[in-house]
Amino acid sequence: MEKIEEQKEKEESKPEDNGEGNKPESTPVIDAGIETAKRLEEATEKMQVENDRREAIEAKRALGGQADAGQLPEKLEPVTDLEYSQKVARGEIPMNELLNTKSEQGNN
């Protein structure tokens, strides 16, 4: 009988198993890490939404007809040698443009 009473006492002193297992007590460092992870996940979701919104704006801007497609280039009027020399004499054509033109002609 004494053995039965001892067994009952041992069973009563054991903590009940509530299915959570043996969890260690939470520490402030772990709690802070978990909180930080939650904030990072929320920030990541917000950034994803913002990036999607910006991509939509850029797509609308690209498709909004701002491209040069379908437009004719400006027609340049042919300039005679006499008109060109007169523009150079008046200073309408800068000297650096003359130098660039000569170097391009020399490379051809």
Q: What is the pLDDT of residues 23-66, one digit of tens each?
A: 666 688 888 999 999 999 999 999 999 999 999 988 888 787 65
Q: Where are the alpha helices (DSSP H) in the chain?
A: 2-13, 28-62, 81-90, 95-107
Residues 6+ apart with CB under 8 A from 93: 84, 87
**CA proximity to 98, closest of 107, 85, 108:** 85
* pLDDT category of residue 72 using cuts at 50, 70 and 90: confident
> Which phi and psi (to 5°) does residue 80 adopt?
-75, 165
Q: What is the model's pLDDT at position 92? A: 84
DSSP 8-state symbol, 75: P
Tell me the pTM.
0.35
Q: What is the model's pLDDT at position 74? A: 78
**CA proximity to 84, closest of 76, 93, 74:** 93
